[in-house]
Structure 1
Amino acid sequence: MSTIHVDVVSAEESIFSGEARFVALPGEVGELGIYPRHTPLISRIKAGSVRIELADGREEFIFVAGGILEVQPNRVTVLSDTAVRGKDLDEEKANEARRAAEDALKNAKSEIELAKAKSELAVMAAQLAALRKYRSKKWSD
């Protein structure tokens, strides 16, 4: 079976590097599915779940807070400021951050503060949704 090399990189570290049969992730205008020999493309991605079907059939799950996707026929690269393995997602921390973003939204005194708070709130909502999805699917580690 044909595979494609996948790299998921955050600002701090390489989160995943390996061979996959398929990659699904949240494109800016909808869900993207990438198979080996995919047409080259560069796209922005939004906050959400990256699902990687490994060569052996297991699945890897990673939350990204948006970023850039580059696809070449034999390689997928996901660059994100923040990327967290599904098994490392912390619901309590995400809920705290969501509450802080809600407070910041209520107390915003400028358009910039308002935009930043809205962005943070959207990322935290996506992270909580990704966590629920990860738990419901019982993704492999």
Structure 2
Amino acid sequence: MATLRVGLVSPEREIWSGEAKMVVAQTVEGQLGILPGHAPVLGVLLDGSVVKIEPADDGEWVTAMVGSGFFSIAGDEVSILAEQAELGTEVDVADANRALQDALAAGEDDSTSERRARARLRAAGVDA
């Protein structure tokens, strides 16, 4: 079975890399599902969205919050370069809830901090 080679990185560190069956990313133009053999694409990640990766080893889906950034698909290589990224398993849910409440209290509609806090909670599996 064909797989994708995926790398998810932020300026601080490599968040996840490995072989995957599928990647789902939210772009500024809509959601994109990436399978092996996908046409080459360069896209802009939606700030405060979630990237999902289905590992090739049939393990649990990897879910990560991403801030603004880019992704590229070339051959069966997927590079996700995010300004900010955090695995759902690493999210401090209490901290993300506080950040969401602070963003809502600031009263700005659809602020970056609100979108990122909501994405952190979604990545952690909490409905926000």
Q: TM-score higher than 0.5 here? A: yes
1:29: how far off? Answer: 2.4
1:102: how far off? Answer: 2.8
Measure the CA separation in 2 of the matches of 1:61 and 1:98. Answer: 19
Give the alignment's Cα RMSD to 1 decimal: 2.0
Q: Given the alignment of the two structures, is residue 75 of structure 1 paired with residue 77 of structure 2, yes or no? A: yes
1:66: how far off? Answer: 3.0
TM-score by length of 2: 0.86
Task: Give the fraction of aligned pairs with identical amino acids, expressed as a percent.
Answer: 30
Larger-gyration structure (1/2):
1
Q: Which has the higher helix share?
A: 1
1:97: how far off? Answer: 1.3
Q: Which amino acid aligns with 2:5?
A: H
- Check conservation: 1:4, 1:76, Cα contact below 8 A: yes
2:117 to 107, 110, 124: 124
Q: Given the alignment of the two structures, is residue 45 of structure 1 paired with residue 38 of structure 2, yes or no? A: no
**Residue ranges of structure 1 left out of the alignment (5+ in a row):** 107-113, 136-141
Measure the CA separation in 2 of the matches of 1:102 and 1:60. Answer: 28
1:68: how far off? Answer: 0.8
Moved over 6 A (4+): none
- Check conservation: 1:10, 1:81, Cα contact below 8 A: yes
Cα gap change, 1:126/1:60 in structure 2, threshold over 3 Å: closer, same or farther?
closer
